[in-house]
Chains A and B, each alone.
Chain A
Amino acid sequence: MLLKLVPEKTDVKFINYRKIAYLFSFLSIIVAFGLYFNKGLNFGIDFEGGIMVEIGTETPADIGRIRSAMSSLKMGDVKVQEFGDPRDVLIRLEHQEGLTVDQVVEKIREILPSAIDGEISYRRTETVGSTVSGELIEDGIMAVFFAISAVLVYIWFRFEWQFGMGAVVALVHDVILTIGMFSFTGLEFNLSTIAAILTIVGYSLNDTVVVYDRIRENLRKFRKMPMSELLNLSINETLSRTVMTSVTTLIALAALFFLGGEGIHGFAAAMIWGIFVGTYSSIFIASPILLWVELQREPNTTPQAGMEVYPPKKS
């Protein structure tokens, strides 16, 4: 007996819940914006510039002691936090006026032995200058923008412009909610987060395209079926695949989240969130949006291989 998470034949009226979904998404987006403007994002040094030192200690470190030792250096706002393990500490500070990065690191190395017992290993030091961090932000925004535009063009080319619109609305929805999630959880927002967002864009699109593909096929097959019924049918037909792929990807991501180490934690978290949001948006946002726009129900003028071409119908 094979495992089937989704029964063979489903008939869930997804489209009928669209108003609830719109409202839910609308509210979520408002909350995401609210969080973004009030709480902001916990930018990593990639985007904010500054100095970061990761140290390993022999015994669990006393964060409070390290913090007070660091504040005796009078270097402004210093963040000290545990990094996945009590023997792994992250220290972050801003660039210091009048001091080079090396001088700052030297001072940290001098003061730390007073706050930590035993050997200290310097696992990682990173400094990013303010011009570089500005460029990294710019590149990140450009990457997301170009990815979405390129996708719009591709879908337009392969389907109709209405589909491209729907897919882009769903993508923007996913990106906003992911940024909102980062603001809410306070997870560090850095270069790999941009990578995660772009992968979410790719994944969500993947999902949307599979459903759209089926909608296109059914539009040709059932030429008189009411639109909302046709959308429901298409979503239900692809539901088993949607769930199957989401589950395998989630399994892989869960392994990454729990076992992949602290450095990849934020990335895996963003991706897991993205799988849920992306799947939700392809069903509840990208598909019902097709109801708003007039879809051409004549078959494509250029016949495709393996596909029946019906004679054009006068409406």
Chain B
Amino acid sequence: MFGEDLFYLEEESKTKGLGLKLLPRILPYFRKYRAKIITATLLLLFSTVLSLFGPLLLKQAIDVDIAKGSIPGLIRTSIIYLALQAVIFLIGYFQRIELSKVGENAAADLKEKLFQHILNLPMSFFDRNPVGRLITRVESDTEALKLLFTSTAVVLVQDFALLIGMSVVMILVNWKLYLLIFALLPPFVYFFYWFQKRIRPIYVEIRRKVADINNFINETIWGLPVIQAFNQEKNFSDKMNIHNQEKYQKEFLGMKLWYRVWFMVDFGEVLGFVLVLGIGGIWALKGLITIGTLILFISYIMRLFMPLRGLSDQLNVIQRALASGERMFGILDTRLEEPGEIKPIFKTFQKEIVFSSVNFAYEPRQETLVKEDLAKCPEPKEWVLKDINLTIRKGEKVALVGETGAGKTSIINLLLRFYEPQFGKILLDDYELHKLDKHFLRRCIGFVPQDIILFPGSILDNLRLFDETISEDTVYNAAKRARIHNRILNLPEGYKTNLIQRGINLSQGERQLLSFARALVANPKILILDEATSSVDPQTEHLLQEGLTELLAGRTAIIIAHRLATVQMVDRIVVLHKGKIVEEGTHSELLSREGYYYRLYKLQYLTPVSSEVT
């Protein structure tokens, strides 16, 4: 299943135009930083306006100081220029830092919000969305929005202010000359409109082509043995060549459009120069305008055309951010897991768990790959559990056994309220499970999955799951009871060891013991244990049994059992087959009955267990 999310072609923004509809939803995340944003924007505008004075001072130097031959005047102008630049730099410096702080903080807020929301979504959501895709949502999509607001928006505001400011100055200095330049603008506006309409589909196609290539690489790597066995290396490398060529051609189309724009911009600038120098020059000869004015106009024209060159990036950022925003809010709009209202008076589990006539099917998995591939969905309502009736009394230890796909995991999934049954009821102390406060329920229950799930952090953190209200002694004690304390002490940094960072591989048995310790720290009333399947050496087997005995003491337990010792230890075995309970009883009872369990037992525990590779 690895990486299927990698090639999931991100849908393009469905919103046409500027997608202003998204704004009211995004803006609240920036409200907290309103004061800072306004200050930064004002500062930005201020320094933009100030920067307009640079060429004006040059004009002053040429037309007044130099013309009059006044060295003190020149020095004064130079000092003003210096001071002006210093102020602009300082403002720019602080504005940039402040704005980036706002951007980073707002992006972090968005990430946190998304993260929180995702953690509280129902399990079915995680079935539909591979981890990689969720990470992309939280990471890249928020970053795209950040870029839009802290970079592109700023640039656009600045450019706009510059345009207005320069226009005002030019009109004031010489409105006739300004009109000459202004006449150049309308064709540009039209041209950009024309261009952005044409470039969009090309961008989409390029992105699709990149997805194709990545997909092809993925498939090829997966199929390498077969490709080699059939001598198809040449063929595949030719196919890759074609993919690459197609991408190249698409890029080429995009480039051709782009360079038309570049030419227009560049040529526009030249035309501006020529107009100003030609007509302005003649006017200057006639003494209608000064040389300083000419130079002022020329330096403004250069500034006028600069932003146009960066427009491509901006267009791209806007498009991506819009698509990102849509996807992000798509997740935020997904309904959360029902919290459940009932908080029982008793702080915890008192009496019994009852499954009564439970039928359950997983919702068909909506593959989000390519639309046409959706056609092939599993039949809805393929029952995974059929008519399950089961009562587990307080203190009882029950083993679930059956072949793969018999429905063992589904029972514990229901019990943990990861899913809800379509029919029937599950009761905990007479409360319907889905009406119970989910946190109350889950605090009653400790879950030990087949393999330990490690989070970034030390062993200590992992055992108490970052709950710092749990003392270190409690953790040590639990680890001792789980028979893993000594092993932990032998690690390079003991309980402070970060297993992931250090790349330390614990054996399967040790990992299971660590899981036991984690459950012992949580100290739940009900324990759900999914036993690891792999065989371990006799020494570890012994430790596992000791640890398990400690873990089960005084608890109600439901165990998906894989070990002979475990099924012999429990009070009752529930035998599942094709989603139904077929037998119930103790190990010896069931054996003497010589029914399904008897055969399953022989198959699983007596005939040679494969020398499994790990």
Same complex origin of A and B: no
Residues of chain A having any CB pair with chain B under 8 Å: none
